[in-house]
Amino acid sequence: MKLTVEGLAFKYPSRHVLNDINFTLSKGEFLAILGVNGAGKSTLLKCINRVLKPHKGSVFINEDEVFRLSRRDLAKRIGYVAQRQESSRATVFDAVLLGRKPYIQWEATKKDMEIAQNAMKILKLEDYALRYLNELSGGEQQKVVIARALAQEPEILLLDEPTSSLDLKNQLEVAGIIKSVVKNQEMSAIVTMHDLNLALRFADKFMLVKNGTIFAAGGLEVITPENIESVYSVPVKIHEIDHVPIVVPL
């Protein structure tokens, strides 16, 4: 699998949000998109997933242009988790099973049930199966929608700040699960994040976005004090603890 984004641009009537975005992502890669609020991170995910229509540019999965795929085929290839989720009276199991909707013809099969159960197991939600979504905490609901995305069995996961409503323990757990799924199930993931240190701990590729353009992209070599200060307007130092880089604001 290869995701290719070419010349992507998006604008609202009042302003440009994205300009000339170009990058590729291969199977097994975990890309963290970093930048300040309003830089265009969430908009980029929505353009890749066709939630928003770009002003120009193309998105390909292998040789298939995303904008030519049916909604059902797109949902089989991209799993998307938005920042904000609507809670409902559905049970956790039913909510996760919705991830199988692109594959279900008349009714859910035994295979669909097993895939949903496995997704819940990965997110450690087995004991919540019959709980209602509107009875869960925000962090628990977030884990449910990630499980639903996994149940789609996509090639690409798009996650918009998936750890923002989680406590420290669950932040580490969910980021670790994303990394594990990417490696073990041969997916790729694009994750917008605010926590630089969480990104450095789990991601293997990084994209620094500033004013709707890619300021820097690559591996750990692009996470420098100079680049971080240019993007965030905050001077920092980078130290290493147990071979993991740690960003420390000055």
Q: Are 21 and 75 in contact (CB under 8 A)?
A: no
Residue with the two structure tokens 């193309």: 58
Helix (H/G/I), strand (E/B), else coil: 104: coil
Quick check: 228 pLDDT over 90?
yes
pLDDT digits (tens, 9 = 90+) for 100-116: 999 988 889 999 999 99
Average pLDDT over residues 6-20: 92
Q: What is the Cα–Cα distance from 244 to 229, expressed in whole angstroms?
A: 20
How high is the pLDDT of residue 6?
A: 96
**What is the second-level CATH architecture of the domain 2-83+156-249?**
3-Layer(aba) Sandwich (3.40)
**Beta strand pairing status for 205-210 and 213-218?**
antiparallel
Q: Taking the model in full, what pTM does it have?
A: 0.93
Domain ranges of the chain: 2-83+156-249
Per-residue pLDDT, 140? 86
Sign of the CA dihedral running 122, 139, 142, 29:
negative
Residue 84 has pLDDT above 80, yes or no: no
Q: What's the count of helices (H) and strands (E) in the chain, helices before strands?
A: 8, 12
Which residue in the block uniquely carries the two structure tokens 């639903």?
A: 148
Which of 20, 53, 35 has the alpha carbon at shortest distance from 231? Answer: 35
Cβ atoms 118, 129 nearer than 8 A: no
- Cβ neighbours of 47 (radius 10 Å): 25
Q: Is the pLDDT of residue 73 over 80?
A: yes
Report d(CA 18, CA 69) in Å as an integer: 23
